[in-house]
Amino acid sequence: MRPFLARVPADLTSLARRNGGVFPKDAVAELIDGRATVEPGPHGTREMPIWGKVYREQSDHQMRGMPFPSEWTVRGRILALTDYLSTLQQR
């Protein structure tokens, strides 16, 4: 699908290489979450969805009545995605 996209997607396999060989786990998690980011950012508007908001809305609905905060589910999903991205890094 790449030829049909208006902008070339980011190479998510080179995040560690572009960060001195270390996967920037906290920065990636914050970017995925997106709720702490102030619009517009230094590079213009945000193109990636604010997954923290999406996950929170889903969790609030799905976890209603559960004895733990729905934010735990949100953080768990973001952590799982961040950990997955770390496994894709080129060595």
Q: What is the structure's pLDDT at 39?
A: 59
Q: Say which residue the tokens 């572009």 belong to.
A: 18
pTM of the model: 0.76
Query: What is the domain partition of the chain in residue ranges?
Result: 11-87
pLDDT the model gives residue 67: 84
Task: Check if the beta carbon of residue 34 is closer than 8 Å to that of residue 15.
Answer: no
pLDDT tens for each residue of the chain, 91 residues long:
778 888 888 889 999 999 999 999 999 999 999 988 655 555 456 677 888 999 999 998 888 888 888 899 999 999 999 999 999 998 7
The confidence score (pLDDT) of residue 41 equals 53
What lies within 8 Å, CB to CB, of 52 at 6+ separation is 32, 33, 34, 35, 74, 78
